[in-house]
Amino acid sequence: MKKILFTLLTLTVFTLSSWAEDGHRLWLPAQKSQTAHVSTNAQSATIDLAKQELTDYFAGTKATLLIDPALTDDEGFTINGNEDSVVVRARRDIGLLYGAYDVLRRQAIQGNMNHVEQHPRFRLRMLNHWDNLDGSIERGYAGESIFEWFHLDEALLHQYARANASIGINGSVLNNVNASPKMLTREYLDEVRKIADLLRPYGIRVYLSINFATPMVLGDTRTADPKNKRVRQWWKRKAKEIYSIIPDFGGFLVKANSEGQPGPGDYHRTHAEGANMLADALAPFNGTVIWRCFVYGANHKGEDRVKQAVSEFKPLDGKFRENVILQTKNGPLDFQPREPYSPVFDQISETPNMAELQITQEYTGQSHHLVYLGPMWNEFFQYVEPEWLAGISGVANIGKDRNWCGHHFSQANWYAFGRLAWDPSLSSEDIAKEWLGQTFSTDENFVYMMSTIMEESRETCVDYMMPLGLHHIFKFDHHYGPEPDGFKAEYPLEWCPVYYHQADANGIGFDRSSKGTDAVSQYREPYASMYDKLETCPENLLLWFHHVPWTYQMKDGSTLWESLQYHYNQGVINVETYHNIWHNKMRHYVDEQRWREVDDRLEDQVQNAREWRDVCLKYFGGFANKKQ
Ligand code: GCU
């Protein structure tokens, strides 16, 4: 009896740990193979990792890793061979590690291993963690921060580093852009050093978000004015201290004069003056200042919020030091399910600029909705050329949840971000297929069905939340669910949904045409003219740029109000279909645990999509139906 109980117990433990392992391993190889002999012509901590990965997981007999000084001097690599024997060449040791992961990816999805040559499109491929020092995460939906200050979990951080290296991410900002001044104190910097040491062999440099008023808040200076001599000296000393601890420290990410954060504007100084002070402090150590363009409600208060970044930064273009990079969100508002691209990318030409994408699904159902963001990012790159960008940042969706991202399918967004930061010309569909094959199953039927759902899921989310260019009608503060009637006198108008949809008896939408706020004029041609005219404005952005009568005739002959109803309903029908497919057809492709967890979340998504449709159609119908 005892023996049977014991066997049962161990069996249970085994089953539990194997599913848990599975969720935890992300897209990385599931089973060790240990059949290959791996040789190298050089040695370093990074090459050791590459060697170890191939020794453990390459299922062929032979793998060779070669540093080749004749290759292009970047983090790229070549692969030649087949599933039995491969040669990976790279100029730098990190290229060998990236090459090793590429071999394993190709092995998992039966990809080609001959005549492969890969180079990263962007030099900077970064994650931005919005993690607070107390372990909470702003807009995090997957548990607490993995950066547990003073109790760092090294094993977990190795897994984090490995996952990132496997998709080419090479920078990590460890803390929230709404930064605590304490981040730069010695006790925290000593901890940052430990993380930097751990991430280094994986090719990942560490950056920190800083609070612009740090010297003043810590009580070392009386002001944070960037023209003040003591303040400038403080930052120089601090930079020296940081680099004495972390010699390859990447630099600072700064949110200044935005949403209540301090900044140079508090002293009537410009963003350039603020950024340049920090740049001067970091320059001797080759550090970079990444200065965010997400500003509103300060110098251009009262102006249409989507115009304020250009108003603020265009006059400063060219006035930044060489080691300053601007960082701009993909759209001009705030990571909505659909936005037009940000015109900052058109208007800033003298200063390097990075795109900031949001991997964490703040406005796309958080960790309760299956929404694959690859198509959104593909769409962004239709308007913004990679050569205009110095790099790409993604607001991370990682936490201490066993499956890292809250929703199993949210892992795909982390994966897709890395793959697109490496090569923005990749199609989201191919990335989805790769990810599914590595994460769940390579079964053709499964990959076909689920990649179709993933590809459609973003448009579906737009449909049940905010179709036809509607935006920011989320519930206040937490942004989960609809609140189209949202208005709070004590909040700035730019936080209130009613300000964004402007529904009234005549119609709906925000007039940003030349007859309205003229936000269209910030765009390059042909977009400026195209967006300006109601007839040429793409219908999926109609209510972003125009206030449109309820009876306006859409291209398919329906009225605007009919079209709005159609989209809301279609969004709900799609999610119901996804749930049905997963529930009835996908069970045997996936382990029970992950199947059930995804199933539960899809059920939530169906409920929430219905809520979106019902609340919005009821509210907007109150205006539209009067008119019909
Ligand atoms: C959004 C988000 C905030 C965040 C801000 C930013 O507004 O809701 O939590 O701090 O973006 O990007 O700075």
From the CA of 408, how far away is ligand 1's center (Å)? 24
Q: Is the pLDDT of residue 20 over 70?
A: no
Please give the share of the chain, as a percent, with pLDDT higher than 70.
96
Token reading at 308: 């304020």
pTM of the model: 0.96
Does residue 472 have its Cβ closer than 6 Å to ligand 1? no
| pLDDT tens string 342-352 | 999 999 999 99
From the CA of 231, how far away is ligand 1's center (Å)? 27
Q: Please state, in angstroms and rounded to a whole number, the distance separating the CA atoms of residues 272 and 92.
A: 35
C-alpha neighbours within 13 Å on the C-beta side of residue 285: 25
pLDDT of residue 45: 98
Amino acid identity of residue 428, one-letter, is S
Mean per-residue pLDDT of the chain = 95
Q: Is the pLDDT of residue 10 over 90?
A: no
pLDDT band at 409 (very low <50, low <70, confident <90, very high): very high
Q: Is the pLDDT of residue 294 over 60?
A: yes
| pLDDT tens string 362-394 | 999 999 999 999 999 999 999 999 999 999 999
Which of 294, 359, 476 to mutate to test ligand 1, by most ligand atoms within 8 A of the CB atom? 294
Q: Please provide the DSSP assignment of 121-139 as one string.
A: S-SEEEEE--B-TTS-BTT
Does residue 177 have its Cβ closer than 6 Å to ligand 1? yes
pLDDT band at 13 (very low <50, low <70, confident <90, very high): very low
Q: Please state, in angstroms and rounded to a whole number, the distance separating the CA atoms of residues 129 and 143.
A: 13
Please give the share of the chain, as a percent, with pLDDT higher than 90.
94
Would you call the peptide bond into 526 cis, given omega within 30 degrees of 0 as the criterion? yes
Stretch 560-580: mean pLDDT = 98
Q: Kindly provide the residue ranges of all beta strands, DSSP E only, lying in 368-418, ordered along the sequence.
A: 389-395
Atom of ligand 1 nearest to the CA of 362: 8
Tell me whether residue 73 is one of the annotated catalytic residues.
no
Q: Is the pLDDT of residue 187 over 50?
A: yes
Q: In Å, how far are 209, 272, 291, 353 from 316, measured between CA atoms?
A: 22, 6, 12, 13
Closest residue by Cα to residue 331 from 541, 171, 120: 541
From the CA of 359, how far away is ligand 1's center (Å)? 13
CB-CB contact of 24 with 402 (8 Å) = yes
Token reading at 611: 């809520």
Amino acid identity of residue 304, one-letter, is D
Q: Please provide the DSSP assignment of 305-350 as one string.
A: GGGHHHHHHGGGTT-S-TTEEEEEESSSSSS-SS-PPPTHHHH--S
Out of 84, 259, 303, 423, the active site residue is: 259
Out of 53, 93, 273, 362, the active site residue is: 362
Which of 334, 358, 475 to mutate to test ligand 1, by most ligand atoms within 8 A of the CB atom? 334
CB-CB contact of 404 with 359 (8 Å) = no
CB-CB contact of 88 with 53 (8 Å) = no
pLDDT band at 24 (very low <50, low <70, confident <90, very high): confident
| pLDDT tens string 461-491 | 999 999 999 999 999 999 999 999 999 999 9
Does residue 138 have its Cβ closer than 6 Å to ligand 1? yes
Q: Is the pLDDT of residue 9 over 90?
A: no
pLDDT of residue 23: 58
Q: Residues 418, 256, 194, CA angle at the centre, nearest 5°? A: 50
Stretch 591-618: mean pLDDT = 98
pLDDT of residue 240: 98
pLDDT of residue 627: 54
Q: By alpha-carbon position, which residue is closest to atom 2 of ligand 1?
A: 139
Q: By alpha-carbon position, which residue is closest to atom 1 of ligand 1?
A: 334
Tell me whether residue 334 is one of the annotated catalytic residues.
yes
Stretch 558-571: mean pLDDT = 98
Tell me whether residue 576 is one of the annotated catalytic residues.
no
Does residue 255 have its Cβ closer than 6 Å to ligand 1? yes
Q: Is the pLDDT of residue 16 over 90?
A: no
From the CA of 492, how far away is ligand 1's center (Å)? 15
Token reading at 293: 């363009």
Stretch 121-126: mean pLDDT = 98
Atom of ligand 1 nearest to the CA of 258: 13
Closest residue by Cα to residue 161 from 209, 121, 201, 103: 201
pLDDT of residue 369: 98
Q: In Å, how far are 367, 368, 585, 609, 615 from 576, measured between CA atoms?
A: 18, 14, 14, 9, 18
Out of 191, 334, 339, 401, the active site residue is: 334
pLDDT of residue 161: 98
Stretch 30-43: mean pLDDT = 96
Q: Is the pLDDT of residue 6 over 70?
A: no
3-state secondary structure of 623: helix
pLDDT of residue 587: 97
Q: By alpha-carbon position, which residue is closest to atom 12 of ligand 1?
A: 294
Phi/psi for 32 (5° steps) reads: -70, 145
Does residue 334 have its Cβ closer than 6 Å to ligand 1? yes
Q: Is the pLDDT of residue 12 over 80?
A: no
Closest residue by Cα to residue 33 from 94, 83, 99, 98: 83
pLDDT of residue 21: 53
Does residue 568 have its Cβ closer than 6 Å to ligand 1? no
From the CA of 200, how far away is ligand 1's center (Å)? 29
| pLDDT tens string 445-456 | 999 999 999 999
Q: Is the pLDDT of residue 108 over 90?
A: yes
Q: Please state, in angstroms and rounded to a whole number, the distance separating the CA atoms of residues 412 and 455.
A: 11
Stretch 285-300: mean pLDDT = 95
| pLDDT tens string 200-237 | 999 999 999 999 999 999 999 999 999 999 999 999 99
Q: In Å, how far are 164, 185, 245 from 278, measured between CA atoms?
A: 28, 17, 18
Q: Please state, in angstroms and rounded to a whole number, the distance separating the CA atoms of residues 47 and 90.
A: 11
Closest residue by Cα to residue 253 from 288, 300, 218: 288
pLDDT of residue 185: 98
Atom of ligand 1 nearest to the CA of 176: 10
Q: By alpha-carbon position, which residue is closest to atom 10 of ligand 1?
A: 178
Q: By alpha-carbon position, which residue is closest to atom 11 of ligand 1?
A: 334
Closest residue by Cα to residue 435 from 4, 94, 27: 27
Q: By alpha-carbon position, which residue is closest to atom 7 of ligand 1?
A: 334
Does residue 136 have its Cβ closer than 6 Å to ligand 1? no
